[in-house]
Structures are given as structure tokens and as C-alpha cells.
């Protein structure tokens, strides 16, 4: 006997990926529902070799359903997630709404799988921010060995993190530069994104950080260790899919770069591609469609007593969103619900 799964926001980029990954990983599904807003009723989406028609989220009855994977914004989640949870359906939420609630587990299965049992608090599990998810997969095995004191991270985040409108904006701006008669106005970004980089993701906060940067700080502490100090600079770059991060780590104990490389090679969810030669590293375009978080450029930082630098790349629509949600569903099923 398998699970009854609902995908909330099935017509969006992340919703599509959730359906693809559930099929790819042969998740034990008895029944699956594709849910969307009223305007998308009847829209067809793919699930493996099957075609599903979207039904109305507003009138859907979650009673008897095991899990609902939410891939909608915070406002819609705020309305519908409590309805699903009250009906006994466990919500796995990709929005930022519940990440900072102390009673709701924030989970990356390779890092803090034990937290899954706390789903019973509110019948909700939170999925972390895309930039946090890939970084903590790399931090955790190193932290277990040498205890991390401080992390300095600069991100190079693809436009797909901003949704379909952001992808369209990059495409349209790029075309309009090559064909000036095709002047496409857009208000997705604060500045031109084509052939540019923008050091601004989400809203500015009073101290000058952006909400995206704040998320990385708070989520790393919640998932890995509250005592780790984190400072982040998050930048949007003209790449369609795949987030990259330059990560500087300071440890309490010395960790040799060769040992760090060996630790990461053995760590779940990580692929180390680290050759000190032309092309001996991974770039965003190479990680698209892959499950792994790729680590390259591992090297000692001689400016501090116990420091390392590394380069971290992952498909943000997968590990940063849909894959992590499906992995949480697998973990929940295996450890708690035990069907299938």
C-alpha cells in the first residue's frame, strides 16, 4: 500500500519538478492529486507517463490524504496549509512561512533527519531556502569533524529562484539587447539582469542585509548548529538554473584540505569534482537536472588559523526545492508513516 499525495501548485516550476522527481524516484504512490488555483483548473501536468488534470485547491478535501507538498507562496500557504494539517494530511511546505517557527521542523534529510519526528507538533514540515539547502549539505559533515565557528558565503543565484516571471525577464532582456526593436519592459528585477549581476535578493532589512541573506543565517543555525556564525551576500546572476556559492569556513579545530575532500566524498548527497586544472570544477550549467550538490575548489585559507574555502553548486529547483521536499516525504514515510 502506497501513499496518497497532493501537489499544491502543480503548474509552477517547483510543482512540475516535484511531480518529475516523485516519478523518477519511484515514490510509492497510490493516488496523486495535482492542485492549483481556480484559473488553472483542467490544466494538464505530467507525472511519469501519466497525465494529470489540475483540480481546484480552494474546494479540495485533504481528508484521507497522507502528504501535501506545497509549492505556492506564503499567502496561499497561510490559507491552505492549516486546512490540510487539520484534516490529518502532513504538509511539506516550500515557502518561507513556517521555517522560523520553533515548533515546526526545518529539514534537510542529509543533515538533520531526526527532526522529522517533530512533524506531529503541527502536522507541518518546512523546506529550507534554496541557497541554504545546498550549503548545509556541505557544512554538516565538516562540522561533525572539526566544529565550524564561522561561515562567510557569497552566492551567485540563478533567476529561476525568482519563478517563471524571472526566467522570462532574463530571456526577454537578452533578446532585446541583441534586437533593440524588441524592447521588453519588465519589473521583476530592480536593475537589468541580462549581462549583469544584482546584489539584491528579496527585501532590504533595517541593518542593510537582505531577507535572503537573513534566511541563510537563521536557517543554518536552526538546521546545523545555533552557535555557528554566518554572514552572507546574496547576488542574482544571469543564469537560468543552478545556484553557486563561494563558501569560506572557519573551524575550531584544524582540518586539512585533503581530509575535508575525503569527508565530502563520503557524505550523502555530495559529489566532489575538484581537479586543479582547467575545467576541473563544476559550474551551474553542468548541475541542471542532477540530484547532487557539487563541491569544487577545496583549499586551505591561510588568512585564519583553521580555515577552508570551497565552491558549492546545485540545481536550485531540485535540491533547493523539489528534491529536498520529496526527500522529506521519503524520510517521513520511512521513519514515521511507514506505508509503501
Give 143's DSSP letter. Answer: H
Task: Please report which helix (H) or strand (E) contains residue 141, including its range.
Answer: helix 130-146
Neighbours of 309 (CB within 10 A): 16
Do the beta carbons of residue 228 and residue 149 sit within 8 Å? yes
Q: In this structure, what C-alpha cell is assigned to residue 156?
A: 551567485
- C-alpha–C-alpha distance, residues 40 and 56, integer Å: 8
Question: Burial level of 99, CB count in 10 A (0-12/13-18/19+)?
Answer: buried
Q: In this structure, what C-alpha cell is assigned to residue 10?
A: 502543480
- C-alpha–C-alpha distance, residues 218 and 215, integer Å: 5
- C-alpha–C-alpha distance, residues 68 and 10, integer Å: 11
Maximum CA pair distance of the chain? 60
Residues in Cβ contact with 255 at an 8 Å cutoff, skipping those fewer than 6 apart = 142, 145, 146, 306, 308
- C-alpha–C-alpha distance, residues 163 and 95, integer Å: 12
* Catalytic annotation, pick one of 16, 54, 143, 243: 243
243 classed as catalytic: yes
* Catalytic annotation, pick one of 54, 89, 130, 234: 130
- C-alpha–C-alpha distance, residues 139 and 176, integer Å: 41
**Which amino acids are annotated catalytic?**
130, 243
Amino acid at each position: 500500500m502506497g501513499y496518497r499525495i497532493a501537489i499544491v501548485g502543480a503548474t509552477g516550476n517547483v510543482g512540475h519538478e516535484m511531480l518529475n522527481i516523485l516519478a523518477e524516484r519511484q515514490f510509492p504512490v497510490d493516488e496523486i492529486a495535482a492542485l492549483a488555483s481556480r484559473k488553472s483548473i483542467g490544466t494538464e501536468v505530467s507525472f511519469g507517463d501519466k497525465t494529470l488534470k489540475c483540480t481546484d485547491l480552494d474546494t479540495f478535501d485533504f481528508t484521507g490524504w497522507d502528504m501535501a507538498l506545497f509549492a505556492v507562496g506564503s499567502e496561499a500557504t497561510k490559507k491552505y496549509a492549516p486546512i490540510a494539517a487539520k484534516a490529518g494530511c502532513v504538509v511539506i511546505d516550500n515557502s518561507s512561512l513556517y521555517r522560523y517557527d520553533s515548533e515546526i521542523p526545518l529539514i534537510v534529510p542529509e543533515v538533520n533527519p531526526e527532526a522529522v519526528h517533530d512533524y506531529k507538533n503541527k502536522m507541518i514540515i518546512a523546506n529550507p531556502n534554496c541557497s541554504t539547502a545546498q550549503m548545509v549539505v556541505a557544512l554538516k559533515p565538516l562540522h561533525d569533524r572539526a566544529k565550524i565557528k564561522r561561515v562567510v558565503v557569497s552566492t551567485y543565484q540563478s533567476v529561476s529562484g525568482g519563478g517563471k516571471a524571472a526566467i522570462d525577464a532574463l530571456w526577454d532582456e537578452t533578446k532585446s539587447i541583441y534586437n533593440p526593436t524588441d524592447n521588453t519592459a519588465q519589473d521583476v528585477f530592480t536593475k537589468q539582469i541580462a549581462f549583469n549581476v544584482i546584489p539584491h535578493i528579496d527585501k532590504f532589512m533595517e541593518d542593510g542585509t537582505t531577507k535572503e541573506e537573513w534566511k541563510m543565517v537563521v536557517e543554518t543555525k536552526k538546521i546545523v548548529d545555533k552557535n555557528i556564525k554566518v554572514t552572507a551576500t546574496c547576488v542574482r546572476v544571469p543564469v537560468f538554473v543552478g545556484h553557486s556559492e563561494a563558501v569560506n569556513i572557519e573551524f575550531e579545530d584544524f582540518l586539512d584540505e585533503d581530509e575535508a575532500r575525503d569527508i565530502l566524498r563520503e557524505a550523502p548527497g555530495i559529489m566532489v569534482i575538484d581537479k586543479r586544472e582547467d575545467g576541473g570544477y563544476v559550474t551551474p550549467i553542468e548541475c541542471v537536472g542532477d540530484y547532487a550538490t557539487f563541491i569544487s575548489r577545496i583549499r586551505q585559507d591561510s588568512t585564519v588559523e583553521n580555515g577552508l574555502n570551497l565552491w558549492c553548486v546545485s540545481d536550485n529547483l531540485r535540491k533547493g526545492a523539489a528534491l529536498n521536499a520529496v526527500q522529506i516525504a521519503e524520510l517521513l514515510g520511512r521513519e514515521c508513516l511507514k506505508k509503501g
